[in-house]
Amino acid sequence: MRYFKGSIILSFLILLSCNERKNHQMKGMYKIHENISTLPNIAYKTIDSLTLELDIHIPVLKLGEEPWDVLSEQLKPTLIYFHGGGWVEEERTSRFLGLLPYLERGWCVVNVDYRLLDKTNLMGCLDDCNDAINWVLENSLKYKFDPDRLYLSGESAGGHLALLTGMMDQSTRKNVLSNPKDRNIAGIINWYGITDIPQAIKFWNDSSYNKMISDKWEGDLEMYYDLTSPINYVSQHTPPILSIHGDADVNVEIEQSIALHKRLDVEKIKNRLIKVPGKKHGNFSSEELASIFESIWAFLEP
């Protein structure tokens, strides 16, 4: 009988805990609806008759009447996100759900499209991402983006671009980019991104894919691969970097992240590598994602 009563109490506590968690999740969902407005399809760049767009999601006070939404005066931490897809496919809206945790915390989020390898090379992708950052800085007062709390993120190819854009030093940007404005990146959240292009090419061992990467580059290939490898830009000025990587990833081997974080350790740059046991290219469970985001918030604390 004692066991039976204990089971009832235990079941009640589990049910209560589940309900509290469910209520918290539901409140978070409604909080996003209540406090966030989306401004989609904003053109940030036109090149070769192609218009590149981004979406912004910003905290607001909703009035229910004209002017409908009012921005707060307080500047907000801002995440700029670059989607994955091997630099050859996908687009920004396919990654929207992964941005919800930032919106629940009241961040601004800027979700970016960039040219793919059918239109440019990796340096062109980088140039687009750099121009998206410039757009955010130019519009920081208008949308309450905090230029001192600007974070970059992306997954796979997008992680590569977040790393490369955030780690490339100003002198190199001046030499290779069309609009190399100075800026301060507060941190990079890298989801299983490529850090070393030559090593990745060896790992993939795919001549047709390699041709897509190199096809529109007219200079020296070795220099091209060096320029587009984030691992080559580790220095004392590198911003804090947190990486998330499944240790069974067969698309981007975890050694890419391990090698980067070893160099970050040498330079004594704040960093953390979260290895997700048994997971491949982003197939993380809800429990794993919850734990990962708790680690992200802790890492980003001053």
Cα separation of 60 and 68, whole Å?
A: 9
CB 272 within 8 A of CB 240: no
Tell me whether residue 4 is in a domain.
Answer: no
Tell me whether residue 224 is in a domain.
Answer: yes
Tell me whether residue 10 is in a domain.
Answer: no
Tell me whether residue 185 is in a domain.
Answer: yes
Tell me whether residue 9 is in a domain.
Answer: no
pTM: 0.90
Domain containing residue 250: 36-300
Cα separation of 220 and 108, whole Å?
A: 39
Q: Is 202 left (phi over 0), alpha (psi -120 to 50) or beta?
A: alpha
pLDDT tens by residue, 110-136: 999 999 999 999 999 999 999 999 999
CATH of the domain at 83: 3.40.50.1820
Amino acid identity, position 237: H
Cα separation values, 223 from 123, 170, 175, 217, 237, Å: 12, 18, 13, 10, 22
Quick one: the chain helix, strand, coil %, rounded to 5?
A: 45, 20, 30
Tell me whether residue 27 is in a domain.
Answer: no
- Number of structural domains (the chain) is 1
pLDDT tens by residue, 208-243: 999 999 999 999 999 999 999 999 999 999 999 999
Tell me whether residue 212 is in a domain.
Answer: yes
The alpha carbon dihedral of 243, 246, 249, 251 has a sign of negative
Q: Which of 29-38, 91-100, 245-254 has the lowest mean pLDDT?
A: 29-38
Cα separation of 150 and 134, whole Å?
A: 11
Predicted pLDDT of residue 133:
97
pLDDT tens by residue, 195-207: 999 999 999 999 9
Tell me whether residue 22 is in a domain.
Answer: no
